[in-house]
Structures are given as structure tokens and as C-alpha cells.
């Protein structure tokens, strides 16, 4: 692996190897939980027609895990789409960073797939969901980083809203680790999109008892925000009862 320089992060130059070591350490530990999960030779399988029109998540830990699984599928598919056709103005450092980001999200996706097994929402589907990223501009560096910032910010807020709902503490601890990786991703892409915006006011609670903490979004709020990306109607109301 080359030690190419990734652009400024938190006021300092961050090398690709350092970024992978910092942001990927938790992803790697999650990967160890997988029973012999090997390298994914096709991180973004070719999608096709889906067998369901509505996806209703159950009001239990399986529903929460499936929600997180869906979010990680979206992120993995997004980064794979970028990696497949980099914008012309992407630097070598941008490319290296996005390959690393893609790899992290694939690890997260496969972690949830392994944990859920037959309980995965798509276990019986003949092919994976195809996600719609047409609302994003993926032909320019600015457009790609803006899209990544939107998805990563949403992912962090979603994890913040999911974690307290788990009854299984093992799941909670594992998802907290993955959520911390997502927060590092968000900080990185935010800083690339706009220097020193890694803790911008739109992602930090400004007042009240949660002032200074990362923004939290409920499952129903997140479901509404990702609706344009999905080929089905997502119903997450049951998760609000937990």
C-alpha cells in the first residue's frame, strides 16, 4: 500500500496509511467478529428487480440491525459507484481515500449480513436492492464530497438514534464501534468539502441538555431522508416503540 498524502484533516496532513489505521481500526475489529469472512471480490453486486414494494422493519433488535444494514448497503454502494468512475478532478489522494472508505463500508455491510444471516431483510431476495443516487452530482470532486458529507452525516445521526434502542448489549457495543468509524468518515469528508467544518453547527447540537453533542435522528426521520434513494417504501415506525 502506498503512503500517499490525503488532504488536510483537522489542521494537519493525513497520510493514507494513517487514515486507514485511525478510521479503519474499528472496522477491522468488527471484521474479526465475522466467522472467516473473506475478501469481497464484488463489493457492489449487480442489482436487479426486487421482490417487495414495502419494507417494514420489526420492532426488535433484528429490526434495528436491519436498519443499520440497509444504511451500510447504501454507503457501500455509493462509494463503489464513485470508485468505479472517479471524477476527472479527483486527485490521487482523493482516490486512495475513497477506496479506503469503500472498503470500510463493505466490511460494515458484510458484518451486518453475517450477524443477521437468515434474518436479513434481503435474505430471500434474488438480487440486492439498487439504490438511486441520481440526485447527487458525482462527476465533480465538489459534488462527490458534498454527497459523501450528506450520507455520512446522516449515518452518524442515525447511529446516534439507534444505539439506545437495543436490548442486546453486545449489539450495542459493536454498533457503537462502527458508529465511531462513521463519525471519523463524516469528519474527514466534511473537512475535504469545506475545511474546518468537521464539527459544523448543522451536525452539533447547539443548546439544551445535549449541547455540544452530535445530532441525533430517529429511525422515522432517517427513513424519510433516505426514501429517495430506495426502490421500496421503508416503514420504520416499529423502531420508534423501542
Cβ-contact 112, 121 below 8 angstroms: no
The total number of residues shown for the chain amounts to 242
Q: What DSSP letter does each residue of 219-236 carry, written as one string?
A: HHHHHHHHGGG-SSEEE-
- 209 confidence band (pLDDT: 50, 70, 90): confident
Q: Kindly state the average pLDDT of the residues 214-225.
A: 92
Residue of 180, 132, 130 lying closest to 152 (CA atoms): 180
pLDDT > 70? residue 117: yes
Q: What DSSP letter does each residue of 166-208 carry, written as one string?
A: -S-HHHHHHHHHHHHHHHHHHHHHHHHHSTT-TT-TTTB--SS
| C-alpha gyration radius of the chain | 17
CA distance 212 to 40: 38
CA distance 180 to 76: 17
136, containing H or E segment: none
Q: What's the mean pLDDT when you consider all of the chain?
A: 82
- E strand segments, 48-138: 54-56
Q: Kindly state the average pLDDT of the residues 20-27.
A: 48
In 10 A of CB 69, how many CB atoms? 23
What's the pLDDT score for residue 205? 67
**12-15 and 54-56 as β-strands: parallel, antiparallel, unpaired?**
unpaired
What's the pLDDT score for residue 168? 96
Structure-model confidence comparison of residues 133 and 203, the more confident one: 133
Condensed to tens digits (0 to 9), the pLDDT of residues 143-201 reads: 999 999 999 999 999 999 999 999 999 999 999 999 999 999 999 999 999 888 767 76
What's the pLDDT score for residue 206? 74
Structure-model confidence comparison of residues 98 and 208, the more confident one: 98
Q: Kindly state the average pLDDT of the residues 43-59.
A: 64
pLDDT > 60? residue 32: no
CA distance 195 to 150: 16
The DSSP 8-state label assigned to residue 127 in this structure reads S
User: What is the pTM assigned to this prediction?
Assistant: 0.79
pLDDT > 50? residue 51: no
What's the pLDDT score for residue 107? 97
What's the pLDDT score for residue 215? 82
Amino acid at each position: 500500500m502506498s503512503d500517499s498524502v490525503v488532504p488536510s484533516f483537522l489542521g494537519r496532513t493525513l497520510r493514507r496509511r494513517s487514515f486507514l489505521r485511525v478510521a479503519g481500526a474499528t472496522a477491522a475489529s468488527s471484521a474479526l467478529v465475522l466467522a472467516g469472512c473473506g475478501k469481497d471480490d464484488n463489493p457492489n453486486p449487480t442489482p436487479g428487480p426486487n421482490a417487495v414494494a414495502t419494507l417494514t422493519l420489526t420492532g426488535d433488535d433484528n429490526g434495528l440491525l436491519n436498519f443499520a444494514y440497509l444504511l451500510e448497503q447504501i454507503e457501500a454502494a455509493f462509494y463503489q459507484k464513485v470508485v468505479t468512475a472517479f471524477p476527472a478532478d479527483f486527485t490521487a489522494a482523493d482516490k486512495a481515500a475513497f477506496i479506503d472508505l469503500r472498503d470500510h463500508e463493505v466490511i460494515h455491510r458484510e458484518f451486518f449480513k453475517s450477524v443477521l444471516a437468515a434474518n436479513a431483510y434481503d435474505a430471500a431476495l434474488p438480487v440486492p436492492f439498487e439504490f438511486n443516487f441520481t440526485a447527487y452530482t458525482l462527476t465533480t470532486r465538489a459534488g462527490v464530497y458534498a454527497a459523501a458529507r450528506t450520507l455520512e452525516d446522516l449515518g452518524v445521526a442515525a447511529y446516534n438514534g439507534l444505539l439506545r434502542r437495543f436490548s442486546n448489549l453486545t449489539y450495542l457495543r459493536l454498533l457503537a464501534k462502527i458508529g465511531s468509524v462513521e463519525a471519523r468518515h463524516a469528519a474527514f469528508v466534511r473537512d475535504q468539502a469545506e475545511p474546518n467544518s468537521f464539527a459544523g453547527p448543522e451536525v452539533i447540537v447547539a443548546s439544551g441538555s445535549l449541547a455540544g453533542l452530535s445530532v441525533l435522528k430517529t429511525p422515522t426521520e432517517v427513513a424519510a431522508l433516505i426514501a429517495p434513494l430506495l426502490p421500496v417504501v421503508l416503514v420504520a415506525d416499529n423502531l420508534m416503540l423501542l
